[in-house]
Amino acid sequence: RLLGEGKGHVLDLCAAPGGKTLQLAAAGWTVTAIDQSESRLARLSENLERTNQSAEIVTADLREWSPKTPVDAILVDAPCSASGIFRRHPDVLYRVRPAIIAEMAELQRVILTRAADWLKPGGTLVYATCSLEPEEGERQIEAFLAERPDYALLPITGEWPGITEKGTIRTLPTMLAKEGRLDGFFIARLQRKG
């Protein structure tokens, strides 16, 4: 919903197993789903077939792949430390260390920087992680915007849990306790100027 109704070509980066790909296709977008995991993309393909949706599926490393032409929208569901899912997967608390966070933040920076070059002027880029770490969320976007004056934060409004003063979304596992709680995640919506 953060990208709106499908009005063009969208890249779903780090797409497998494809839940967001299915939603984008159902909303009317022409979707190219990219991920480096062949086995997870096979699940995405099965899910598309099962739901009678379509998308172009590309197996590639985003540090090397590029689209042939600029696109209208991009969803970056970036690889991350996954510290926000500890409620469902408590083992994550024993695995996430500063070195892992730094490694993930650098990979996110590379993917976000490359993706930004693929968007048409006026297009929308949504960046998301299931991390509680500012290095993978707020600080990542602040650093990106400082480096890319051709981008601006496009504030998220409406009935969303966790909307911040800046117009990003930051949810915490303690939110919506009566409904079963949320995972922790961060979302920012950006627009390329022009």
Q: What residues form the annotated binding site for S-adenosyl-L-methionine?
A: 14-20, 35, 61, 77
Backbone angles phi, psi at 173, to 5 degrees: -60, -15
Tokens 């990219």 -> residue: 34
Pinpoint the alpha helices (H) of the chain: 19-26, 38-51, 92-95, 98-116, 138-147
- What does the alpha-carbon distance between residue 17 and residue 102 come to, in Å, rounded to a whole number? 25
**3-state SS record for 48-88:** HHHHCCCCEEEECCCCCCCCCCCEEEEEEECCCCCHHHCCC
Amino acid at residue number 154? L
Looking only at Cα atoms, what is the longest distance across the chain?
47
Question: How many CB atoms sit inside 10 A of residue 173's CB?
Answer: 17
Q: Which residues are annotated as a binding site?
A: 14-20, 35, 61, 77
Q: Has 130 been annotated as catalytic?
A: yes
CA-to-CA distance for 36 and 163, rounded, in angstroms? 31
CB 144 within 8 A of CB 96: no
Catalytic residue among 130, 132, 188, 190: 130
Provide the annotated active-site residues.
Answer: 130
